[in-house]
A and B are shown apart, each in its own frame.
Chain A
Amino acid sequence: MEKEIQFRNPSFAQRLKGMLGVDFYRLFHTPMFYIFLAISAIIPAMVSAMTMMSGPDGAPTTPMYSNVWQIIAASKPLYVIESIADYANMNMVFIFGGIMVSIFIGHDYKSGYVKQLFTTHAKKQDYMMSKSLVCAFAMACMCLTYLIGGTVGGLLAGYSLDMNVGSLILAIFGKMVMSLGWASLYTFLNVIFRRYFGVSIASSFFFGTGILIIGVAAIVEKLPIPTAILNVFLYGSSVNACLVSNIGTLVVCILVSAAWTIFYNVVGAAILSKSDVY
């Protein structure tokens, strides 16, 4: 009589738990994560400090911000930027995050880890989800270090602390929630361009800057439709999480982030399933 093989069928939760364990371990054991946390803290501090630097004639330049928190979020939803101050806020984390995700996922392919992974019971959607969650966590952490760096930099620059605390907290939460959507987009882009690391990183940077939506916003502003329609995009919702945020803003961020996460995860998994793993 033939001896039988005992087949195990790991549940989705078991598979995801294993994969998340691996990805979190890697995240915490790679210097890249800590470097990006530091970058996220240093950049806003530097921006704050530079806005108070003297001009060539020794006279102080006009401060770009009126208070500390404008380095965290814009004072209103500014889809079309008029000055660098409108742009230089916590949304920059999504640009740094894009580069970090590209490096993180690029290592998977460069090392051959994906090959090792997909010969096990791991499914493509598990991979998309695990990467999205871990990278979203990393970007949320970067939002926090950005907050610390921006606050310290703003205080050192002598900006005021006056602000509606509730709106500020909702704006920060809103941006942190958006991390999941951004992380899913970057995971998706890196899956698409998995054989071309340079293209992955360039595309992540390109989408992270939100330049496409800024361009669309310039057109929408001239049309008789509300610019709030731009909130359906990741960049739009990220901009919408500003210093006049309310609970509705946070709800929009949650919905938009979740919707794009599902979209990118489903499409990314389908592409991975129909193409060579590496």
Chain B
Amino acid sequence: MNAVEIKNLSKNFGAKQAVCGLNMTVPRGAIYGFIGENGSGKSTTEKMLCGLIPTSGGSIQIYGKDYKNPDVRAQMGVLIEAPGCFPGLSVWDNMMLQAANLNLQNPEQSVVRTLKLVRMEGAAGNKYKNCSLGMKQWVGIAMALLGDPALLVLDEPLNGLDADGMRIMREVFTDIVKDGKRSIIVSSHLLGELQKVATHYGIIRHGKMICEMTAAQLDASCRTYIALKAEDMNRTKLLLAGKYTRIEEDEAGFLRVYDSVSPEDVVTYLYGYGISVTEIGTDKISLEEYYMDLMKGGN
């Protein structure tokens, strides 16, 4: 049984169709990277999944049950946009209020454990309004984690986090799904960070899921390229462009050859024109590059 199964989901805002016929499958134990441009329907889909806005059509099943069931909702932890906290109350009070809403049996214990998990135990007494952006984000994540939910839905959780915060977040995510029971849906524009932790991906565009894949499938789909530097880069570029179908220059000044060809062949070819290659290696395109390719209609 999958953690989430969405079939033919749609949402209309008046005449505007924000989500149209979206299908999505999140397996158990997955960290599901939900990717899409601004306005692609990511947040709308997440809000429907979390019961914040009604659907216009389609079905949503969470662990095999209809998403509206209270017992299912009790197993969800959510952070959509910003945390819903009362600014005048302390972090502790806000957490305790959420624990009360969740009817947790040992609210104090749960709050202490969750704050410890996100390294926020020292800030429990701080008023929420006095917290930094990053701390507020952690409070939101902590609230979503309260009660050990089976499904976490996090919209842009990495916003406002520093490098150490992102590392902690990755550890927390990995820890949550390690028992294979719980799953996380996480949307983020920080694709590099997402790639470090996601096990599955869903890419949405214009309200439709254009592709779903595992991290292994993404890895296989991400084309290998040869990156090189040579003595005369302008002439090298012209020569390579004349022989190979796709040549690009990256931000680090390397020329990339995307054709299926070995580094030795490229070196030999350039050497034939009297050009010495100074650096060469192979690499794979990142999730970000893959995503950009996909958005541009590449493969």
Contacts and interface: CB of A to CB of B under 8 A. Distances in A.
A47 to B, nearest CB: 32
Interface in B37-89: 47, 50-54, 63, 65, 69-76, 78, 80-89
Contacts of B82: 112
Contacts of A115: 52, 80-81, 84
Contacts of B153: 119
B181 interface: yes
B103 interface: yes
Contacts of B51: 118-119, 277
Interface string A254-278: 0000000000000000000111111
Interface string A1-35: 01111011110001101110110011001100000
A263 to B, nearest CB: 23
Contacts of B78: 116, 119
A122 B101 contact: yes
A2 B181 CA distance: 8
B272 interface: no
B76 A10 contact: no
B1 A276 contact: no
B239 interface: no
A11 B156 CA distance: 33
Given A2-B28, A7-B72, A116 B54 contact: no
Contact of A22 (B50, B63, B97): B97
Interface in B246-279: none
Contacts of A9: 69-71, 74
Interface string B142-154: 0100000010010
B102 interface: yes
A150 to B, nearest CB: 32
A44 B39 CA distance: 54
Nearest to A17: B103
B74 A10 contact: yes
Given A120-B74, A277-B52, A18 B84 contact: no
B71 to A, nearest CB: 4
Contact of A278 (B52, B54, B71, B76): B52
Contacts of A14: 103
B297 interface: no
B86 A26 contact: yes
Contact of A123 (B70, B80, B81): B70
A83 interface: no
Given A18-B100, A119-B50, A114 B84 contact: yes
Contacts of A5: 63, 75, 150, 181-182
Interface residues of B, number: 43
A167 B70 CA distance: 47
B175 interface: no
A111 B52 contact: no
Given A5-B150, A10-B74, A119-B76, A276 B53 contact: yes
A107 interface: yes
A144 interface: no
B80 A8 contact: no
B179 interface: yes
Given A10-B103, A276-B52, A277-B53, A116 B143 contact: yes
Interface in B69-128: 69-76, 78, 80-89, 93, 97-98, 100-103
Contacts of A113: 84-86
B2 to A, nearest CB: 10
A117 B93 CA distance: 15
Contacts of A122: 73, 101
Contacts of B63: 5, 7
B180 interface: yes
Nearest to A115: B84
Contact of B97 (A2, A4, A25, A275): A25
12 contacts: A2-B180, A15-B70, A18-B102, A18-B103, A19-B100, A25-B100, A29-B89, A29-B93, A111-B86, A112-B84, A274-B54, A277-B52
Given A119-B50, A121-B71, 6 more contacts: A7-B72, A8-B71, A21-B100, A119-B52, A119-B78, A120-B76
Q: Which 3 A-B pairs have the closest CB atoms?
A: A116-B84, A112-B84, A119-B78
Interface of B: 1, 28, 47, 50-54, 63, 65, 69-76, 78, 80-89, 93, 97-98, 100-103, 143, 150, 153, 179-182
